[in-house]
C-alpha cells in the first residue's frame, strides 16, 4: 500500500522568503531596463504635468473671483483704498478675503487672463495624457515580454526537470503553477508596473504643491494619510485569513464535487444521492459563509477609504474657508486644495490595493521560482558517444537503484540481454516493475552500476540518443489533442499517410478508424468520447510501431482491451518484437513462459531472475507464484478465473 507521503506536500509559504522573491520578481524586468527607465520618466512627467492642473484652475478661479469682487468695489479707487473702505464700513472679513486676490476695483472678470490660463491648463492636460498613454503602452509591452519570457523559461525548465519531479508532484499542482500562477503574475504586473512608482510620485508632487500653497492645510491633509493607511492595513489584515478560508472551503467543495461526479453512477446506483446532496450543501454553505466574510472585508476597504477622504475634504474645506476669512489664503487656493484633496486620496487607496495585489503576486512568483529552482537532471555529456550500430544488446552491470536513500529497490542487478530476446518482468503491484523501463530509457538514473547498449554506457550517450532506440507502450494511453493520424505519427512527424496506415493496419487500429466518420482525421478529444480505452491503447501501439525502434519497453496490462483485440495486439507485438529486444512488464502467462529471461520483482527489489524452468527449479518466489496459479485449477468447481495471467 502506498499511503500519501506527507514529505511531498507543498510547503506553506513562509513570510521570511518574500523579500528575496520580490527582488527576483524585479529582476525579471532587468533585461528591459531602458524601456522601464523611459516609462518611468514618462509616467513621472505625466503626473507632474497633471498635478499642476488644479493649481492653474485655482488661479483662474481667483481671477474670476477678483472680477466678482472688483465689480462690488467702486471704480476709480485703488485696491488699497477700496479695501480700507471695506474695513471702515465694518466688513473686516470681506476686506481680508478680497485682499487674497488681485482685485481691481470697478473692473469685472479679466476674460483674457482667464482664457490664457485655461489654454495653458488645457495644453498641460494634453501633454500629461500623452505621457501617461505612452507610459501605459510601454508598460504593456514590457509586461508582455516579461511574461512571454517567463513562460518560455518555465517550458524550457519542464524539459530539463527529471522524471522524478513529475512523479513526485501531482500534475494538477504543477499545471497550476505554470498556468494560474503565471497568469496571476501577468495580470498583477500589468496593473502595477510603473503604477506604483508613479502613484508614489504623484502623491509626493501633490504634497509639494500643497505645502507651497498652504503648509497648514497640507498638514490637515497629511493627517488623513496615516489614518487611511492604517485603516487599509487593518482591513486587509482582517481580510487575508477570510480569503484563505474561502479558498480552503472552495477547495474542499471542489474535491467533493469531483468525487461525486466521478462516481456518478455509484452515487445514484447506491442510493447515495441524498447524502451526496447533503454533503454538497454543507460544503456549499461553508463556501457561502466564508465568501460573505471575505467579500465584505475587501468590499469595506473602499467605503472606509472614501470616508477618510471625505473627512480630509471637509477638514480642508472648513479650515481653508476659515483661512480665507482671515485673509491668509485666496479662494482659488482653497479650491485647488479641495481638488488636490480629492485626487490625493485616490492614489493612496490605489497604493493600498496594489500592496494587496502584490502580496498575491509574490505568492505566485514564489511558486513559479520554486519550480524554476528545482534540481535539474544531469546535463548530457559534452562529448557524447554513440554505439556504432544499435543491434539491441542490453547489459545491466551491477546496477543499483533506490527512489529514496533508505530503501533500495534494485541492488546489484546484472543481466545481459542478447539482441532480439525478450525479458519478462513479473511481480505484484507496487513492486517497482516499471523501474527497469525507467532506468533503461534514462527516465531515472541508476544510483550505482552501468547500463550498456551494444557495449556503450548509456550514461555517456545523450538522453535523446538513448531514447531514440526505444519504443514505449504504457498502460495509460496518453494521446494528445490532435487527429488519430497525428497521434500515430507522434514519434515520426514526417511519416507519410501510407506509412501511418500501414502501422495502423499492423496494430488493428485501421479497422476501427474506418468506422469513424472522419477516419484518420478524427480529432481525439480530452475526454476520449470518440475512442474507447482499448482503441486508445491500440493507437499507442501503432505509435510505437511506426518509430521502428531497436528495443521495446511494453507494459502488457491490456485489461482495457477485449480478448480478441488482445490476441491481435499480441500478434502485432509479436511481429514488432521480431528482431527487437523487448522488456515486457508481463501479465500473460504465455509471454512469461516464452521469455528468454524472467525478472521477478517483489516489494524490496528483484527477487529472482532466470528462465521459466530455472526459476521453477529454484523453488523461490516465481515457483510460488506459479503454484498459486496452478492450485485453484484443481478445485475449480465453480466458474474459473483467468488461467492465463499472473
Partner 1 sequence: MLITLLRVRLRPYARTVALLLLLQLVQILAALALPTLGAALIDDGVVKGEADSVRRTGAVMLAVALVQVCCSLAAALLASRTAMALGRDVRSAVFRRVLDFAAHDVGRFGTPSLLTRTVNDVQQVQMLVVSAFGVVVPAPLMCVGSLVLALRQDVPLSLCLVALVVVLAAVFGVLLSRMSPWYALMQTRLDGLGRVLREQITGVRVVRAFVQDTRERERFGELNSELNGISLRVGRQIATMFPVVLLVLNVFGVAVVWFGAGRIGSGAMQVGALSAFLGYLSLILMSVVMVTFVFLSVPRARVSAGRIQEVLGTAPSVPPPVSGARPDTGTGLELSAAEFRYPDAQEPVLRDIDLTVRPGEQVAILGSTGSGKTTLLNLVLRQFDVTAGAVRVGGADVREWDTEVLFRTVGFVPQRSQLFSGTIASNLRFGNPAATDEELWRALETVQARDFVERLPDGLGAPVAQGGTNLSGGQRQRLAIARTLLRRPRIYLFDDCFSALDYATDAALRAALAPELAGATVVTIAQRVAAVRHADRIVVLDEGRIVGHGTHDALLRDCPAYQEIARSQLSPPTRPVQPAGPSPVHRFSAEEAADALAEQP
**Residues between 342 and 401 that touch partner 1 (CB under 8 A):** 342-343
Answer for which of 164, 284, 447, 618 binds partner 1 (CB under 8 A) is 284
Q: Segment 70-109, which members bind partner 1 (CB under 8 A)?
A: 91-94, 96-97, 108-109
Rank residues 23 and 564 by Cβ distance to partner 1 and give the closer one. Answer: 564
* CA 643 vs CA 58, 473, 639: distances in Å: 97, 24, 12
Residue 436 contacts residue 425 (beta carbons within 8 Å) = yes
C-alpha distance across the termini of the chain, in Å: 19
Candidates 6-14, 21-29, 203-211, 488-496; binding stretch for partner 1 (CB under 8 A): 488-496
Residue among 20, 31, 33, 155 that touches partner 1 (CB under 8 A): 155
Do residues 11 and 367 touch, judged by C-beta distance below 8 A? Answer: no
Cβ nearer to partner 1, comparing 128 with 410: 128
Is residue 446 near partner 1 by the rule CB under 8 A?
Answer: no
Q: Under a CB-based contact definition with an 8 Å cutoff, are residues 142 and 29 in contact?
A: yes
In the set 237, 273, 278, 514, which binds partner 1 (CB under 8 A)? 273
Q: Which is nearer to partner 1, 14 or 303 (CB)?
A: 303
Nearest to 509 by CA among 499, 501, 518: 501
Binders in 540-559 for partner 1, by CB under 8 A: 540, 543, 547, 553, 559
Paired strand residues for 451: 396
CB of 503 to partner 1, least distance (A): 13
Nearer to partner 1, 414 or 464 (CB): 464
User: At its nearest, how many Å lie between partner 1 and the CB of residue 357?
Assistant: 13
Smallest separation, CB 398 to partner 1 (Å): 25
Is residue 208 near partner 1 by the rule CB under 8 A?
Answer: no
The Cα-based distances of 488 to 476, 479, 513 in angstroms read: 16, 9, 12
Question: Among residues 19 and 166, whose Cβ is nearest to partner 1?
Answer: 166
Kindly list the distances between the CA atom of residue 465 and the CA atoms of 172, 445, 462, 469, 579, in Å, as whole numbers in the listed order.
Answer: 30, 15, 5, 7, 20
In DSSP terms, which residues pair with 417 in a beta bridge?
394
Q: What is the 3-state secondary structure (H, E, C) of 21-88?
A: HHHHHHHCCHHHHHHHHHHHHHHHHHHHHHHHHHHHHHHHHHHHHHHHHHHHCCCCCCHHHHHHHHHH
Closer CB to partner 1, 274 or 498, in the complex: 274
User: Is the distance from CB of 42 to CB of 135 less than 8 angstroms?
Assistant: yes
Which CB, 51 or 423, lies closer to partner 1? Answer: 51
* CB nearer to partner 1: pick between 232 and 276: 276
**Residue 388 Cβ, how far from partner 1 at the closest point, in Å?**
20
Residue from 18, 29, 38, 163 that binds partner 1 (CB under 8 A)?
Answer: 163
DSSP-derived 3-state class of residue 456: strand
Identify residues 289-348 at the interface with partner 1 (CB under 8 A): 291-292, 295-296, 299-300, 302-304, 306-307, 310-311, 313-314, 317-318, 321-322, 324-325, 331, 334-335, 338-339, 342-343
Place of cell 502506498: 2
* Smallest separation, CB 298 to partner 1 (Å): 9
Interface with partner 1, residue 532, by CB under 8 A: yes
Q: Which of 137, 237, 497, 514 touches partner 1 (CB under 8 A)? A: 137
Q: Say if CB 614 and CB 442 are below 8 A apart.
A: no
Q: Least separation, in Å, of the C-beta of 89 and partner 1?
A: 12
Restricting to residues 557-586, name those near partner 1 by CB under 8 A: 559-565, 567, 571
Q: Tell me the C-alpha distance between 117 and 34, whole Å.
A: 36
By CB under 8 A, how many residues form the interface with partner 1? 181
- Applying CB under 8 A, which of residues 25, 73, 104, 114 lies at the interface with partner 1? 114
Binding-residue pattern over the window 21 to 40 for partner 1, x denoting contact by CB under 8 A: --------------------
Between CA 424 and CA 627 the distance in angstroms is: 18
Q: Does 144 bind partner 1 (CB under 8 A)?
A: yes
**CA-based torsion, 369, 34, 347, 133: positive or negative:** negative
Closest to 621 in 3D by CA, of 636, 634, 603, 635: 603
Between vectors from CA 105 to CA 102 and to CA 107, what angle results, nearest 5°?
Answer: 90
Cα-based distances in Å from 610 to 578, 589, 594, 613, 627:
21, 15, 12, 8, 17
The verdict on 141 binding partner 1 (CB under 8 A) reads yes
* Closest CB 194 distance from partner 1, rounded Å: 10
What b/e string do you get for 478-489 counting C-beta neighbours within 10 Å, with b at 16 or more? ebeeeebbbbbb
Q: Kindly state the smallest distance separating residue 311's Cβ from partner 1, in Å.
A: 6
CA atoms within 13 A on the CB side of 310: 6
Angle ∠(160,151,243) on CA atoms, nearest 5: 110
With contacts defined by CB under 8 A, name the span among 27-35, 145-153, 445-453, 501-509 that binds partner 1: 145-153
Q: Which is nearer to partner 1, 32 or 467 (CB)?
A: 467
Q: Map the footprint of partner 1 across residues 171-200, applying CB under 8 A.
A: 171, 174-175, 178-179, 183, 186, 190
Residues 6+ apart with CB under 8 A from 524: 479, 480, 481, 482, 483, 484, 487, 530, 531, 536
Task: Report which of 225, 183, 437 is spatially closest to residue 312, judged by C-alpha positions.
Answer: 225
Task: List C-alpha distances in Å: 255 to 175, 258, 275, 280, 389.
Answer: 17, 5, 15, 10, 52
Instruction: Give the residue, chosen from 347, 356, 534, 605, that forms a contact with partner 1 under the rule CB under 8 A.
Output: 534
State the binding string over 615-634 for partner 1 (x if CB under 8 A, else -).
-------------xxxxxxx
Binders of partner 1 in range 231-270 (CB under 8 A)? 250, 253-255, 257-270
Does 116 bind partner 1 (CB under 8 A)? Our answer is no
Amino acid at each position: 500500500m502506498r499511503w500519501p507521503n506527507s514529505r511531498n506536500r507543498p510547503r506553506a509559504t513562509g513570510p521570511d522568503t518574500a523579500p528575496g522573491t520580490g527582488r527576483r520578481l524585479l529582476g525579471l524586468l532587468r533585461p528591459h531596463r531602458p524601456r522601464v527607465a523611459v516609462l518611468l520618466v514618462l509616467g513621472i512627467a505625466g503626473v507632474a504635468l497633471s498635478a499642476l492642473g488644479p493649481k492653474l484652475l485655482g488661479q483662474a478661479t481667483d481671477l474670476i473671483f477678483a472680477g466678482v469682487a472688483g465689480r462690488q468695489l467702486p471704480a476709480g479707487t485703488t485696491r488699497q483704498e477700496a479695501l480700507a473702505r471695506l474695513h471702515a464700513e465694518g466688513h473686516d472679513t470681506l476686506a481680508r478675503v478680497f485682499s487674497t486676490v488681485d482685485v481691481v476695483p470697478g473692473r469685472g472678470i479679466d476674460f483674457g487672463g482667464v482664457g490664457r490660463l485655461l489654454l495653458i491648463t488645457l495644453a498641460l492636460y494634453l501633454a500629461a495624457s500623452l505621457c501617461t498613454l505612452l507610459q501605459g503602452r510601454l508598460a504593456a509591452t514590457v509586461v508582455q515580454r516579461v511574461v512571454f519570457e517567463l513562460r518560455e523559461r518555465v517550458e524550457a525548465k519542464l524539459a530539463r526537470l527529471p522524471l522524478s519531479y513529475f512523479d513526485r508532484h501531482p500534475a494538477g499542482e504543477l499545471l497550476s503553477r505554470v498556468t494560474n500562477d503565471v497568469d496571476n503574475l501577468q495580470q498583477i504586473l500589468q496593473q502595477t508596473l510603473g503604477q506604483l512608482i508613479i502613484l508614489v510620485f504623484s502623491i509626493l508632487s501633490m504634497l509639494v504643491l500643497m505645502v507651497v500653497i498652504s503648509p497648514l492645510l497640507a498638514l490637515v491633509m497629511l493627517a488623513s494619510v496615516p489614518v487611511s493607511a492604517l485603516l487599509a492595513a487593518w482591513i486587509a489584515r482582517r481580510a487575508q485569513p477570510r480569503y484563505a478560508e474561502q479558498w480552503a472551503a472552495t477547495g474542499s467543495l471542489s474535491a467533493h464535487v469531483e468525487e461525486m461526479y466521478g462516481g456518478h453512477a455509484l452515487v445514484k446506483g447506491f442510493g447515495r444521492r441524498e447524502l451526496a446532496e447533503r454533503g454538497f450543501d454543507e460544503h456549499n454553505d461553508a463556501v457561502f459563509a466564508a465568501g460573505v466574510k471575505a467579500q465584505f472585508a475587501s468590499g469595506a476597504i473602499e467605503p472606509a477609504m472614501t470616508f477618510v477622504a471625505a473627512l480630509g475634504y471637509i477638514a480642508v474645506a472648513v479650515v481653508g474657508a476659515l483661512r480665507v476669512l482671515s485673509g491668509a489664503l485666496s479662494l482659488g487656493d482653497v479650491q485647488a486644495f479641495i481638488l488636490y484633496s480629492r485626487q490625493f486620496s485616490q492614489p493612496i487607496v490605489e497604493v493600498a490595493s496594489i500592496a494587496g495585489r502584490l502580496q498575491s503576486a509574490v505568492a505566485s512568483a514564489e511558486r513559479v521560482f520554486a519550480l524554476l529552482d528545482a534540481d535539474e537532471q544531469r546535463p548530457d555529456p559534452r562529448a557524447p558517444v554513440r554505439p556504432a550500430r544499435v543491434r539491441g544488446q542490453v547489459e545491466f552491470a551491477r546496477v543499483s537503484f533506490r527512489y529514496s536513500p533508505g530503501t533500495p529497490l534494485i541492488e546489484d542487478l546484472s543481466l545481459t540481454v542478447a539482441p532480439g530476446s525478450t525479458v519478462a518482468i513479473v511481480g505484484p503491484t507496487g513492486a517497482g516493475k516499471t523501474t527497469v523501463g525507467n532506468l533503461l530509457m534514462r527516465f531515472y538514473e541508476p544510483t550505482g552500476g552501468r547500463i550498456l547498449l551494444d557495449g556503450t554506457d548509456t550514461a555517456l550517450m545523450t538522453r535523446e540518443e538513448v531514447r531514440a532506440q526505444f519504443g514505449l507502450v504504457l498502460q495509460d494511453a496518453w494521446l494528445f489533442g490532435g487527429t488519430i493520424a497525428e497521434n500515430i505519427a507522434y514519434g515520426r512527424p514526417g511519416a507519410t499517410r501510407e506509412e501511418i496506415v500501414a502501422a495502423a493496419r499492423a496494430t488493428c487500429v485501421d479497422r476501427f478508424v474506418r468506422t469513424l466518420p472522419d477516419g484518420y482525421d478524427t480529432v481525439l478529444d480530452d475526454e476520449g468520447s470518440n475512442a474507447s480505452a482499448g482503441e486508445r491503447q491500440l493507437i499507442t501501439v501503432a505509435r510505437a510501431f511506426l518509430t521502428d525502434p531497436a528495443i521495446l519497453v511494453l507494459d502488457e496490462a491490456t485489461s482495457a482491451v477485449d480478448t480478441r483485440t488482445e490476441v491481435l495486439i499480441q500478434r502485432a507485438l509479436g511481429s514488432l518484437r521480431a528482431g527487437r529486444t523487448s522488456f515486457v512488464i508481463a501479465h500473460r502467462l504465455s509471454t512469461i513462459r516464452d521469455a528468454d529471461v524472467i525478472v521477478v520483482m517483489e516489494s524490496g527489489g528483484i527477487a529472482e531472475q532466470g528462465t521459466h524452468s530455472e526459476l521453477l527449479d529454484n523453488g523461490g518466489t516465481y515457483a510460488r507464484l506459479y503454484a498459486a496459479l496452478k492450485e485453484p485449477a484443481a478445485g475449480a468447481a465453480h466458474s474459473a478465473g483467468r488461467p492465463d495471467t499472473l
